[in-house]
Amino acid sequence: MKKQSIQLSLNDFPKELHPYLADVDLYDSSCHSNAQTLYLPPDHYLKIDTFGELAREAMMTKQFHQQGQGVEVIKYLSTDRDYLLSKAAKGEDLTHWLEDPKQLCEIMADKLRNLHNTPIAGMPISLRHERFIASAEGPSTGGYYDPSVAMKRFPVASKEEAWQIMQKNKHHLHADTLIHGDYCLPNIVCSDDGNVTLIDLGLAGIGDRHCDLYWAIWSLAYNLGTDVYTDYFLDFYGRDSFDYDMLQVIAAFEVFG
């Protein structure tokens, strides 16, 4: 994760957080979401978002931590804004593992297979899955069309084509697996001893495994600059565990928004 040094005043934060913010150099480690993420050396992260936005992420992070798959939540505060303070995961996110693409694929596929085999009892439905269902049941003119999330091997030519694919295949979506919901390289942290931790779990819950598979291969292609490792990743995950044609369906749901 990138870390850019910043200066902030303690008065900008709730008093409960002051012990963690005082006398430390702060770094902005925000990614592409609307939330701001601060790195508090040596081993804490503070995520800040609008009121109520981090409640679900705090809940899911706690559940994943109990399973040994997520970081420890130190505090969740919802005041003027939402504040989620957590321990830092050990290691580096997988954008730092690009020099050995096959090892990268193996780490991602192995962790994803283990996640998808996790019992789902007591877990809520993934927000990603809820959005899929809402899109499919909404008006064909609704949502937006974002071709940047499509892949060359799963092309979607237009919003109209996406809608048609969705309508033809929406009954094939199954909420039967614990998914991350945004299974991309920056959200997977691996230590030198091979321990893998998942972060940014606001979309996690019960959903369709093909969602995670799609974002895994999209993220691999985006970060490696090539999709030649897609099949290696899918082979390592296990071809008998998914329906390849469903990846095209997920592409349609994603570009439709």
Q: Which residues contact 7 (CB under 8 A, 6 or more apart)?
A: 26
Q: Which of 182, 200, 208, 212 is catalytic?
A: 182
Return d(Cα 93, Cα 135) in angstroms, integer. Answer: 31
Return d(Cα 39, Cα 29) in angstroms, integer. Answer: 6
Return d(Cα 4, Cα 128) in angstroms, integer. Answer: 30
Active site (annotated) includes residue 182: yes
For the record, the structure tokens of 138 come out as: 């909404």
Q: Write out the catalytic residue numbers.
A: 182
